[in-house]
Structure 1
Amino acid sequence: MSPFSPRLDVRGLVCAPLGQSTPALTFQIDPGTCLALLGHRAADLSRVLDTLAGHLPCPAGDILVDGREVSALVPGGRGMGLFSARDPLFAHLTVRQNLAFPLRARGLSRAAAAARVDEILALTGLDGQAARHPRDLDPEDSWRARLGRLLVFAPPMLLLDDPFASLEPEGRRAMRQLLGRLMRARGLTMLLATRDREDALLLGGRIGILSGRALLQVGQAADLFDRPACDRVATAFGDANALTGRVAWVEDDLARVRLASGAVVEAAAAGGLAADALCTLCIRPDRIATLFPTGRPSEGEEGDLPATLIALHHMGDHVRLRFRLGDGQEVLVRRPPAQTLAGLVPGRPALLAWQPAHAVAFPFRAEIG
């Protein structure tokens, strides 16, 4: 295998059950890296990982681990370790025995298994818990033990199915940091399936946005934020506002859009955008400038968007403002906390504006053939 070959190469993978237009998944993961699959439905994320691991049938597609096709192999022969809440520790075994179990099942000698278990106990911080049973562990130590049970046999690929879902926020942060340290120290290769964007941002070298069973876009976080492939990526990953409008004209990469409120604004034009067609204009909350004029909000310059402040919340690291447009659509804005809040109360007229390059107009999905 070439040193530049991917550790996991997924080509046209289709997950059961089949439908009329079941999407196929294609992605690669290089050795020592993590791809985070970010989705909203736990069942969809689990289905992808279970199909890769061999616990669900693979109706179509290829799964290659280190260049070897494994889709026809049994789960234990695929070179993948699956971390899932559906695989708890064995209650009747101690932590040490739980970690030793997969090694003994693979025929490793008692001495070799013991040495490997000692190494993983130290690596995961479980030295002092080795003789305890699962019922005596707190949630974080139980999590460490479940991870250690995978790490003992050093699978080429780790498949992590929403791994922090059962943890409280403090434990979630601690175990996320532990996993990040282990990944860097041991060169782990991981596919992380999560519903939490922070998990994806902190652990994923690249992030894939999963909607249902369709993989909308895979890329670095900066690409997903600044160059989303569609409005669903912009809203799901970038928390972008989505405003419905009609395209007045498109010239080069710039579009002028008349919103439902009647205001005319400009945005970058996504591929396939056409004049006089409906569109969805996406703009992130942190890319919107706000002005609170003393006169009527219609007194702004061309491109300004009249709005009314309806809610304001200080979130510590930013101020969250929610506005209502003339047609009833709402717009969320995030501003630095240093911005003065004096005199800002619900009902205050405002003007919203942005640089055209910071917004993207996408073809309205109902009009896409």
Structure 2
Amino acid sequence: MCAPLDPFAPALSFAVQRGMCLALLGNRVSDMSCLMDTLAGHLPRLGGEILIDGQDRSMDTAGQRGIGLFSPRDHLFAHMTVRQNVAFPLGARGYDRSSIAARVNETLALTGLDGRAEHAPQALEPQEAWRARLARLLVFAPPVLLLDDPFAKLEPDDRSTLRQVLARLARAQNLTMLLATRDREDALLLGDRIGVLSGRTLLQTGRPVDLFDNPACAAVAADFGDANTLTGRVGAVEDDVARVHLANGCVVEARAAEGLAPDMLCTLCIRPDRIATLFPSGRATADPEEGTLPASLVALHHMGDHIRLRFRLGDGQEILVRRPPAQSLTGLEPGRPAQLAWPPVHAVAFPFRGEMS
């Protein structure tokens, strides 16, 4: 599927392979819903192409495209039972009664609703109503599923359960899905590939490991990878490693992104789990070793699966660090001096674009 669609022009273009899920991770619900409605044929297409199995479906109506849209904006028909709701798309497409009955029974069993088939929507729990809306979509087996923020308004426990349900169905049915979500966990658990959006701009598409380890820009590193960002000036670039002079006077190293050159302002990005911490037994030294950052501990929280530490640098900037829970917390109190460091390969320096402060 490829769609440079105005007003998303000039270049929102992407492809979803058969049986795979591309998760678009964005921060503006209205833009993602507009894109989904345009792909489904509910909004006019002002440019670009929509290709399915190599055929251009851009001029087809919504019912002809073979695309199913799942959105929290769609509701079950209150005057119909669950079975009747699920059967509705088949009846509208002219299927005969025996085919409808067989397909509906199969889909109800697939989504775990065979015991609730004769209930009205008002009698369903939120999780059951979600399954019923999904069953109504799956029953006519569209080649492509568009999932527009599918878990919106659900409680955390229901969200976790239904995420697993969708992942199981995707594997069992070899579903081809385009998922639009604001939740990174949705994207990571369901997406074979992830596209990171900033407003209407597609910043990068790739496997999760690519986005974490090789972000295309500082915005992807910070928004997707939770990276700390520090502004500095490039002193030198040698063998793709940049020496960066930070505002607090320290010099650190990082991988040089494309286009980085000496004397250029840059944004250095380093993920919280890639930072090593050392707590000297005495006071912090006035002249720290090159490549390290003197800092003081601001706050410490045990999060169960990791320890979250927040440090303040000499110029007032703060850095977040995540360490394994096995690390000893003895003697760690706010105000404790520390040294922070990382191997150059674990940080990236990008040309400064003004996107970070």
Shorter-chain TM-score range: over 0.9
Q: Which residue of structure 1 aligns with residue 194 of structure 2?
A: 207
Describe the superposition over 1:96-122 as per-residue Cα deviations: whole angstroms up to 9, x where unpaired: 000111100000111111110000000
The answer to whether the Cα contact below 8 Å between 1:246 and 1:257 also exists between their aligned partners in 2 is: yes
TM normalised by structure 1 equals 0.94
The answer to whether the Cα contact below 8 Å between 1:36 and 1:206 also exists between their aligned partners in 2 is: yes
Shift of 1:14: 2.1
The answer to whether the Cα contact below 8 Å between 2:274 and 2:346 also exists between their aligned partners in 1 is: yes
The answer to whether the Cα contact below 8 Å between 2:21 and 2:177 also exists between their aligned partners in 1 is: yes
Question: In structure 2, the residue corresponding to 1:32 is in which secondary structure?
Answer: coil
Whichever residue aligns with residue 269 of structure 2, its letter is C
Shift of 1:354: 0.1
Q: How many residues align?
A: 354
Q: Which residue of structure 1 aligns with residue 120 of structure 2?
A: 133
TM normalised by structure 2 equals 0.97
Shift of 1:300: 3.9
Q: Which residue of structure 2 aligns with residue 354 of structure 1?
A: 342
Superposed CA RMSD in Å reads: 1.2
Q: Which residue of structure 2 aligns with residue 307 of structure 1?
A: 295
Shift of 1:234: 0.4
Question: Which of residues 323, 340, 360 is equivalent to 2:328?
Answer: 340
Question: Which of residues 2, 10, 17 is equivalent to 2:2?
Answer: 10
The answer to whether the Cα contact below 8 Å between 1:209 and 1:215 also exists between their aligned partners in 2 is: yes
Structure 2: gaps spanning 5 or more residues: none
Following the alignment from structure 1 to structure 2, what is the Cα–Cα distance between the partners of residues 297 and 259? Answer: 18
Describe the superposition over 1:315-353 as per-residue Cα deviations: whole angstroms up to 9, x where unpaired: 001000000111111100000111111111111111100
Shift of 1:68: 1.2
1:100 aligns with 2:87: yes
The answer to whether the Cα contact below 8 Å between 1:15 and 1:48 also exists between their aligned partners in 2 is: no
Question: In structure 2, the residue corresponding to 1:43 is in which secondary structure?
Answer: helix
Question: In structure 2, the residue corresponding to 1:36 is in which secondary structure?
Answer: strand
Shift of 1:252: 2.6
The answer to whether the Cα contact below 8 Å between 1:15 and 1:57 also exists between their aligned partners in 2 is: no
Following the alignment from structure 1 to structure 2, what is the Cα–Cα distance between the partners of residues 230 and 172? Answer: 31
Following the alignment from structure 2 to structure 1, what is the Cα–Cα distance between the partners of residues 335 and 18? Answer: 54
Shift of 1:296: 3.3
Shift of 1:15: 3.5
Following the alignment from structure 2 to structure 1, what is the Cα–Cα distance between the partners of residues 156 and 218? Answer: 30
Question: In structure 2, the residue corresponding to 1:61 is in which secondary structure?
Answer: coil
1:37 aligns with 2:28: no
The answer to whether the Cα contact below 8 Å between 2:232 and 2:246 also exists between their aligned partners in 1 is: yes
Describe the superposition over 1:163-188 as per-residue Cα deviations: whole angstroms up to 9, x where unpaired: 01121111111111111111111100
Shift of 1:43: 1.2
Whichever residue aligns with residue 6 of structure 2, its letter is C
Structure 1 residues 292-301 or 216-225, which shifts more?
292-301
Following the alignment from structure 2 to structure 1, what is the Cα–Cα distance between the partners of residues 283 and 255? Answer: 29
Q: Which residue of structure 2 aligns with residue 240 of structure 1?
A: 227
* Structure 1 residue ranges, 4+ long, deviating more than 2 angstroms after superposition: 294-301
Following the alignment from structure 2 to structure 1, what is the Cα–Cα distance between the partners of residues 276 and 223? Answer: 22
Question: Which of residues 318, 321, 326 is equivalent to 2:314?
Answer: 326
Identity fraction in percent: 69
Structure 1: gaps spanning 5 or more residues: 1-8
Shift of 1:27: 1.1
Q: Which residue of structure 2 aligns with residue 186 of structure 1?
A: 173
